[in-house]
Structure 1
C-alpha cells in the first residue's frame, strides 16, 4: 500500500525535532494569577493522562506529515497498435515473400504480432511484441503444400485483444482453396503476394503503424489523509485540555 510513496518536501521533517526540543526545554507553564503560591495549600499535582499525550503527538506528527506532502509518482506509458495475425500459405512462402513479411513486421514495432503457418510442421506463435524470434522462425519456413485451411478457429489468437484491434492478414496465391471461413468481428486482409508485390505498403496505408507518444508522469497526492488524522487528533487533544482537572 505504501510502495512508491515519497515526500515532496522531506526537509520539513525537521519540524518534528523542533517540537521535541520544545517539549524537553520549554515545558508548558500556567501563570498563577489567582493563587501565586499554591504549594501553601497542600494541593497535589494533576498528572496528564497518557491518551492526552498520545493525542498531542499524533496531532503534531500527522500535521507535519501532511505539510511534507506525501505523493506517489506514476508514469503513463502509451500503448496501442494492432493485434496482427499473419497467416502464411506455405505454398506461397518463397524467399521473396518471406523477406516481404519480415519487412512488414519490422515496420510495425508497436503491434502485437502472431504467426500461423499450416505446414507439415505447423507453426503457431501467439501474439507477442518480441518480433525478432518471429523473423528468425519465418526464415526457416520451407515452401510446401498447405496442410490446413483458414477457418473461424483463428479467433482463438485474439482472446486477449481489445475490441477493434484484431487484424488477420492472410497471404496466399490461391485464397479460394486456402481460406475456408472467416470469423465475425475481426478485420481481415487477404493478400496474393505473387501478383501484388507492394501489398505491404498498401496495408500500411489502410492500417497505419502506431506512432509512439511520449510517456507522461503525474503525481497522486495523499496529504489529505494525514491532514484529516491530524485534525481528528487535534479535536481529541483540545477536548482533553478543556476537561476539568486535565489542563
Structure 2
C-alpha cells in the first residue's frame, strides 16, 4: 500500500486495491504479501473524510467499493499474508484479519477500535475478528474498541508471529508463502473457502442492507458532529 502519509482507505485507494487483487487472481498468483510503504503505519483504516458531510451517491459508492475490495481479498484462491510493520487500527486491522497469516513487528498497535470513535464496526468486520481470536476475546475487544500491542496481539492469536523489524517481517511473510507452495492448489482453495464461506455469504446476501445501515448511520447529525470533532483534533495535531 502506498498512499501517504498513512494509507487511509478512500474510494480511489480501495479501487486500486480491488483492481490489484483482480489482476493477481487473473494472473494465477501463487501468493501475496500485503505490506505498507510507510515506516510507521500499516493502514490507518477508512478515510474519515469520505464520511464527513458526504453526498449520498458518493457515500454509497465508497461503501460498495469497500465491500468489493474486502470480498475479493477475503476469498482469494491464493495464500495471503499481512506484513504488519506499522500501526493497524480499524480498517487497517480488517485488512490484516482478512489475510490468512499475520506477521507483526514490536511496538505496534492493532485492533478494531471503532467503538472508541463512537462508531460501530460492521458485522463483517466483527466476523473477521471473531474468526481469528474467538468469540469471547472478540466480544471484549470490540465492545472496548481495544487496540492490542504487539505482545497482546500475539497472545490472543490476532497475529501469528513477531519479527524484529521490517526486513525480518517481510522475510517471515515470504517464509509462510514458501510453506504453502507445494500444497495442491484446488484442495487448498477448497478448504480455505469452506472455512470462510459463511462470513462471505453473510455480506454477499446482505450487501444492500449493510449499505443502508452505513448510510443511515453516517447521516445522523450526532455522528457527523463526532466526525467533525475528530477531524478538528487531527488538524490540531498536524498543526
TM-score interval, smaller chain: under 0.3
Larger radius of gyration: 1
Q: What TM-score comes out, normalization by structure 1 length?
A: 0.22
The one of the two structures with greater contact order (alpha-carbon pairs below 8 A, sep at least 6) is 1
Structure with bigger helix share is 2
Q: What TM-score comes out, normalization by structure 2 length?
A: 0.23
